Chains A and B, each alone.
Chain A
Amino acid sequence: MVHPWAWWCWAIGTGLAVSGTTNPLLLLLIALAVIIVVVVRRTDAPWARSMRAYLLLSLFVIGMRVLFQILIGAGIGETVLFSLPEIPLPDWMAGIRLGGDVTAEGLMYTIYDALRLAVMLLCIGAANALANPRQALRSVPAALYEASVAVVIALSVAPQLIESAQRVRKARRLRGDRTQGLQALGTLVMPVLADAIDRSMALAAGMESRGFARTSGLPVAGTLPVMLCSVMAALLGAFLLLSTSFAEAALVILGLGIAGTTWGLRRAGSRLKVTHYRPHPWTWRATGVAVSGLLVAAVVFALGWFEATYDSVHPSTDPLVWPELTAPMLLAVAFCLAPLPLTIQPKFRATASVRTDTRVRAVRSGVSA
């Protein structure tokens, strides 16, 4: 088992890399690599089956984008593939075109762009399939504990809302209810929300009676104001650093803010005596998986940074050129596949027993054969 955050790091890195390119060949190869890693390394837990849904969503995204490009896309380029009858629109809708010529350039541009979004979705799907978000949230620092619990509750309420909406709709049809549209939504919302609140209350009661948020000792006076001031200082520092030229002052304010926030979080967290059952150890394999994701991003961004290689990650669509695949790109794909060898189970090395009694037993039970 690799630490869940390692998988998230790998997926986020890959997603970042994807955001930095529109080369369809590279995008397809990365998508393929991500899918291969998921298929080989996922477990049989329920959340591991989510990849299919993300794959369908990605295809849907591409389909929608292409459809809209064909219907209302602006005609860039000259290579007309086919023409749709153009529907004249009133003057005040100038700039919008319905139907008309569909060009290869416009279509390819859309496909490249949609592909980028689709592969990013796949990366999120991969992280979900390989590491349950709840598992990942288990290993956050104690001070962020309550925030992570809120996320956990939200995560469990969302699917329950869908489930109870379906149940109520099904039941409503038994009543011969024929209200449609907004009115039907109105009658649906109340029982579903009431149900969601009931569930959340039951969950909260369960957590409360099992000792959630047990604290020891009194809160340290002044923690809250210090936290507030430090967070504000950190924000101000970041703002000054990014948008003005007072770099030194900004760095000092930012540093003070971060230090204050860290102190406050540690202070607040120390009152909680929460321990973790079977915590996931962070191994060198986890480091490897996490770094491989970051390396994918690094390679792709480096390619985009240098002028000589910029065109290879952003192939031109007007004029239309055949995208090329270069050696550094293959390196990025290789990094994306790196978790596969990194997460191979270590070999089991057994020392053969030479004692006669065990050998006799083994022979008797037919194991040695």
Chain B
Amino acid sequence: MIEFEDVTLSYPRAGRPTLRGVSLQLPEGDLCLVIGGTGTGKSTLLGAVNGLVPHFTGGELSGRVTVAGRDTAHHQPRDLADVVGYVGQDPLRGFVTDTVEDEIAYGMEQLGIVPVAMRKRVEETLDLMGIAELRNRPLVELSGGQQQRVAIAAVLAAQPRVLVLDEPTSALDPTAAQDVLSAITTLVHEVGLTVVLAEHRLERVMHAADSMIWLPGDGTARHGAPAVLLGEATVTPPLAALARTLGWSTVPLSVRQARRRVEVETVVIEPPPAPDIDEGAVALSARHVEVRFGPITAVRDVSLDLRRGMVTAILGRNGAGKSSLLWALQGALSSAGEIDVDGRDPRRAPASEARRLVTLVPQTAADLLYLSSVAAECAQADAESHAEPGTTAVLLARLGVDLPGDRDPRDLSEGQRLALVLAIQLAAGAPVLLLDEPTRGLDYASKGQLHEILDGLAADGTAVVLSTHDVEFAALASRRLLLMADGEVIADGTTRDLLASSPAYAPQMAKVFAPLPVLTPLDVQRGLR
């Protein structure tokens, strides 16, 4: 169905080709997962399937890419629209119309399908993706999971034979991600579509994959069976890490497979010790905090103490009030109730002083950057924080990220940019650090690095709070967990207790070793000794 013949792709002014000598064949009806770290060319490979690379993005492509017998060199992406459906990273940005129904019809209008047939196909597609009740809703009012399903429906309506999805679940909470993935597997199994999908959080999708393409980062690509390839790849979802810890040569692709194998091989591990979350001095104390936007109550009567040296994670659905709570604690958002940091209220302090009490790294961290080089940003941060010149640069080096001072912040990878923003925000030396969705767009290596950074900060006595959808990261990085729903904190306790017992939020290791409260491959490693 999709064929790459010795494909090499290089962008001008890039040192080496992004793809080098890639040859592979994807048979019809496969769900193929593209894996690799950030910047290894996943999006480029996906774009090459429907010709967006190089027709739209530029760059030079040698070799041949054919989809359903059509050579992308001679066909523009628009001429392949009836064969390949492409959904980009942020579906909302790709929407052309206002409402769900119009969006689904848009692709067909472009293909010139007669209105009668169009009407029928729209109805069929709405049913297939289970979004019939959303048909008249404006696109901007949909939740992330719904937007993603609408985006898929919108390309499906043109009845392509290949579906290309770039990180379809990265912005979604676990339940919404599940909805999207079950829709995708339905398409593979019931409709017989060929699906090519790139994803950072492999634990969510790998059980459904028929084959896998691994991009090690040197431009080559390896295509093979997931269980084998994951054993070698540098991309390590929890089950692959488990396989490595236990010395298995093939990686179990699902919790069920892993659980059976653990039983067969009678793997015995010691349960980890229960952590203490009541130690450390209180850095921030909030009482009855409430945030309202007009008639909507985003945060309802939240009282909590944040202790020095502790990493706390906040989990909850999209729209549960996680971000609003963080912004309120920073004092950047008006709220009712009391907030106390060292006897001061960050809401009453001017912005430049509030950040010395509580500092926040927002969801789109890049919004904080506006200068043209890393060095300039660091110098500006020193000035803003009234810190010794060089403080931010030292912090950046201490975070373990080595950035040349003349790099443009916009050219950095997600992980590097996050580290830069973190260093800028830490320059103020606040006792409380809040991070809103820090793991979005990070690969496993960057997440590991972020974990180490946060551990180091906590060891230095900072109270760290992060809101996230990434259960595995929360399990790895945090000791205390808050669960939020509908603006309220519905559970507050140790990460271990709360995650191990939760049906929706249990990390994979907890499911494999239930009822033992084991959360991460690291716990398994320690328990084996």
Write the residues of chain A forming the contact surface with B, with a CB cutoff of 8 angstroms: 45-47, 132, 134, 152, 167-168, 170-178, 187-188, 190-191, 194, 198-199, 202-214, 273-279
A-chain residues with CB within 8 Å of residue B110 when the two chains form the complex:
210-214, 274
| Cβ–Cβ contact B118 & A277, under 8 A | yes
| Cβ–Cβ contact A277 & B115, under 8 A | yes
| Cβ–Cβ contact B96 & A207, under 8 A | yes
- List 29 A-B residue pairs with CB atoms under 8 Å apart, sorted by A's residue number: A46-B138, A171-B367, A172-B368, A172-B370, A174-B330, A174-B332, A175-B368, A175-B425, A176-B385, A203-B95, A205-B88, A206-B88, A206-B94, A208-B56, A210-B78, A210-B96, A211-B81, A214-B111, A273-B112, A275-B112, A275-B114, A275-B115, A276-B115, A277-B106, A277-B108, A277-B109, A277-B115, A278-B119, A279-B115
| Cβ–Cβ contact A203 & B362, under 8 A | no
| Cβ–Cβ contact A174 & B138, under 8 A | no
Rounded to whole angstroms, the CA-CA distance of A278 and B123 in the bound complex is 12
B86 interface contact, C-beta 8 A: yes
| Cβ–Cβ contact A205 & B332, under 8 A | no
The total of chain B residues at the interface (CB under 8 A) is 66
Specify the chain B residue showing the minimal Cβ separation from A152: B96
| Cβ–Cβ contact A210 & B362, under 8 A | no
| Cβ–Cβ contact B115 & A171, under 8 A | no
B-chain residues with CB within 8 Å of residue A204 when the two chains form the complex:
56
A-chain residues with CB within 8 Å of residue B79 when the two chains form the complex:
211, 214
A-chain residues with CB within 8 Å of residue B114 when the two chains form the complex:
275
Rounded to whole angstroms, the CA-CA distance of A276 and B116 in the bound complex is 10
- Chain A nearest CB: distance from B361 CB in Å? 8
**Which residues between 91 and 119 of chain B lie within 8 Å of chain A, taking CB atoms?**
93-98, 101-102, 105-115, 118-119
**Which residues between 193 and 212 of chain B lie within 8 Å of chain A, taking CB atoms?**
none
Would A209 and B84 be within 8 Å (CB), given that A191-B369, A277-B109 are in contact?
A: yes
| Cβ–Cβ contact B158 & A191, under 8 A | no
B155 interface contact, C-beta 8 A: yes
**Which residues between 19 and 69 of chain B lie within 8 Å of chain A, taking CB atoms?**
50, 52, 56
Chain B interface secondary structure, helix, strand, loop or mixed?
A: helix
B-chain residues with CB within 8 Å of residue A45 when the two chains form the complex:
138
Across chains A and B, the number of contacting residue pairs, with CB separation under 8 Å, is 153
| Cβ–Cβ contact B368 & A203, under 8 A | no
Would A174 and B81 be within 8 Å (CB), given that A203-B93, A203-B96, A277-B122 are in contact?
A: no
| Additional A-B contacts beyond A176-B385, A211-B79, A214-B111 (14; CB < 8 A) | A171-B367, A171-B368, A174-B362, A175-B368, A176-B355, A178-B352, A202-B94, A206-B93, A206-B94, A208-B76, A209-B84, A210-B110, A211-B107, A275-B108
- Chain B nearest CB: distance from A359 CB in Å? 33
B413 interface contact, C-beta 8 A: no
Rounded to whole angstroms, the CA-CA distance of A132 and B98 in the bound complex is 9
- Chain A nearest CB: distance from B308 CB in Å? 21
A-chain residues with CB within 8 Å of residue B155 when the two chains form the complex:
209-210
Residue interface bits B241-259, CB-to-A below 8 A is 1, else 0: 0000000000000000000
Rounded to whole angstroms, the CA-CA distance of A152 and B354 in the bound complex is 42
Specify the chain B residue showing the minimal Cβ separation from A178: B352
Rounded to whole angstroms, the CA-CA distance of A12 and B77 in the bound complex is 40
Rounded to whole angstroms, the CA-CA distance of A171 and B112 in the bound complex is 44
Rounded to whole angstroms, the CA-CA distance of A46 and B101 in the bound complex is 16
Per a CB cutoff under 8 Å, which of B86, B97, B154, B362 touches A134?
Answer: B97
B502 interface contact, C-beta 8 A: no
Would A209 and B81 be within 8 Å (CB), given that A175-B355, A276-B115, A277-B105 are in contact?
A: yes
| Cβ–Cβ contact B106 & A187, under 8 A | no
B186 interface contact, C-beta 8 A: no
Question: Nearest 3 pairs between A and B by C-beta?
Answer: A206-B94, A273-B112, A211-B81
